[in-house]
Amino acid sequence: MRVINPATGRVVREVPDHDETYVRGALQRAARAFEDWRWTAFEDRAARMRAAEGVLRDRKDRYATLMVEEMGKTLPSAEAEVEKCAWVCEHYAEHAAAYLAPEAVPTDASRSLVRFDPLGPVLAVMPWNFPFWQVFRFAAPALMAGNVGLLKHASNVPGCALAIEEVFRDAGFPEGCFQTLLIPSSRVEAVLRDPVVRAVTLTGSDPAGRSVAAAAGRALKKTVLELGGSDPFVVLADADLDLALTTAVTARILNNGQSCIAAKRFIVEEPVADRFEADFTRRMEALRVGDPMDRATDLGPLAREDLLVELHDQVTRTVAAGARLLTGGRRLDRPGFFYAPTVLAGVEPGMAAHDEETFGPVAAVCRVRDADHAIALANRSAFGLGAAIFSRDTERALALAERVEAGSVFINGLVKSDPRLPFGGLKASGYGRELGVFGIREFVNVKTVWVR
């Protein structure tokens, strides 16, 4: 696995794949670890999870720098990501026992109850865009539930993959509880088919999700899929426009524009559309693009050159289909994989920037006649991950939220994940939930116990 620093275009490290013997050994270690780990008390698991929280906080600088080097996010956002991982460890250390407490159900039995027992080793196929957070939001609940984890991370972040294994090892988790497998995607199905593996979760693009879900279907294994999105960001005529604009810029450029829940389609009601387009363009042009290690930088590079080429192709096709390019639309003339902040106006269904996920700093603005038109357009997408609605009339926004086909709707705010709240999507954005009580109940055996 070859790591190229996206800010310079230079190779920073090469890491050999794990061979078949290593992978077989890891599967055996996972199976052995599960036989002990599944019987540990919640307090013991929680003590180790709190130790993981401590390791993360102690090594924040090192892990944040590693993320910047491997995938180019800005340093403050990488530091915030390590903090958020510590938070999810803390959250599940504190709440897992209550989330999974057996529930009594009154029936004709003298006693009947529902237990939430662990499943076994769970394979996690993860993306590079939040290289720590995506893994911890799977691992913290899965381990607290008594499962053990096997990580197949994206091929461009092997340093992060090994660092996460180190966190759990140094926090005192027993051998085999959490292991990284450095393997390409072509070897995922063989691991998934192994009887030791009981379930699989994938966070990534929808083609990867379809492929892994098909393989899991053949092996009859449970899946959770957290896939892409083309989140609508609805601005109604009665919105606080300044708040909407400030949030719109952050929502689009978050993580250098490479977030599943970044706002991608800005659906603006006609009376405020001219002002929104002009102000939004001005604010996007004012962003400081540059070295992600420089704390003054707003927008860093894209993670890989092929992603930049794909993004530019989407912009070119959208303009060719009739959209107006208000700013950007080009690669920056400097080393690394930098793309200019881009705003496209007059975007409609059928155009690439509307129908496909744009993974970079490219905003598509669509005009709508009224709120009904806005919701119809918001739902006219293959995806259904997050959505935002900006309006001063909260009751009206709440009523509209009910009609939005998405896993979460944020009113007058930035769509974000939170350890306390369920996170996930529908349609091509996948299925299942992470985080909160719903997330920890994905990889458990919901077991009925009945006593005469």
For the chain, percent helix, then strand, then coil, each to nearest 5?
45, 20, 35
Answer whether 31's CB lies under 8 Å from 196's CB.
Answer: yes
What is the pattern of x (binds ligand NAP, CB under 6 A) and - over residues 311-350? ----------------------------------------
Phi, psi for residue 41 in degrees, rounded to 5: -80, 155
Window 224 to 243, contacts with ligand NAP (CB under 6 A): 226-229
- Closest approach, Cβ 30 to ligand NAP, in A, equals 18
The window from 62-70, 203-211, 334-342, 367-375 that contacts ligand NAP (CB under 6 A) reads 203-211
Regarding 358 and contact with ligand NAP (CB under 6 A), the answer is no
Q: Which of 89, 160, 260, 366 is catalytic?
A: 260
Regarding 126 and contact with ligand NAP (CB under 6 A), the answer is yes
Task: Return the residue of 120, 121, 127, 439 that touches ligand NAP, per CB under 6 A.
Answer: 127
Answer whether 434's CB lies under 8 Å from 422's CB.
Answer: yes
Around Cβ 108, how many Cβ atoms within 10 Å?
Answer: 7
Task: Return the residue of 224, 378, 385, 389 that touches ligand NAP, per CB under 6 A.
Answer: 385
The window from 44-52, 158-166, 180-188, 309-317 that contacts ligand NAP (CB under 6 A) reads 180-188
- Closest approach, Cβ 111 to ligand NAP, in A, equals 39
Report the C-alpha gap between 56 and 17 in whole angstroms: 25
Residue with Cβ nearer ligand NAP (121 or 430): 430
Q: What is the largest CA-CA distance in the chain?
A: 75
Report the C-alpha gap between 222 and 213 in whole angstroms: 9
SS (H, E, C) 236-304: CCCCCHHHHHHHHHHHHHHHHHCCCCCEEEEEEEHHHHHHHHHHHHHHHHCCCECCCCCCCCCECCCCC
Report the C-alpha gap between 401 and 196 in whole angstroms: 42
Interhelix angle for 75-99 vs 133-144, to 10°?
20
- Closest approach, Cβ 2 to ligand NAP, in A, equals 12
Residue with Cβ nearer ligand NAP (53 or 81): 81
Tokens 């938070």 sit at which residue? 87
Our answer to whether residue 366 is catalytic in this structure is: no
Q: Which amino acid makes up residue 142?
A: A
Residues in contact with 417: Cβ distance below 8 Å, sequence separation at least 6, in sequence order: 133, 137, 261, 423, 434, 435
Task: Return the residue of 165, 279, 357, 442 that touches ligand NAP, per CB under 6 A.
Answer: 357
Regarding 384 and contact with ligand NAP (CB under 6 A), the answer is no
Interface size with ligand NAP, residues (CB under 6 A): 31
Q: By C-alpha distance, which of 341, 296, 303, 287 is closest to 76?
A: 296
Regarding 180 and contact with ligand NAP (CB under 6 A), the answer is no
The window from 61-69, 184-192, 408-416, 443-451 that contacts ligand NAP (CB under 6 A) reads 184-192
The window from 16-24, 68-76, 129-137, 437-445 that contacts ligand NAP (CB under 6 A) reads 129-137
Residue with Cβ nearer ligand NAP (205 or 246): 205
- The CA-to-CA distance between both ends of the chain, in Å, stands at 58
The window from 112-120, 245-253, 335-343, 423-431 that contacts ligand NAP (CB under 6 A) reads 423-431
Report the C-alpha gap between 151 and 125 in whole angstroms: 6
Residue with Cβ nearer ligand NAP (184 or 350): 184
* Burial class of 359 by CB neighbour count within 10 A (0 to 12, 13 to 18, 19+): buried
Task: Return the residue of 5, 74, 134, 408 that touches ligand NAP, per CB under 6 A.
Answer: 134
Our answer to whether residue 260 is catalytic in this structure is: yes
Kindly list the catalytic residues.
226, 260
Residues that bind ligand NAP in the complex, under the rule CB under 6 A: 125-130, 134, 152-155, 184-185, 188, 203-205, 208, 211-212, 226-229, 260, 357, 359, 385, 425, 429-430
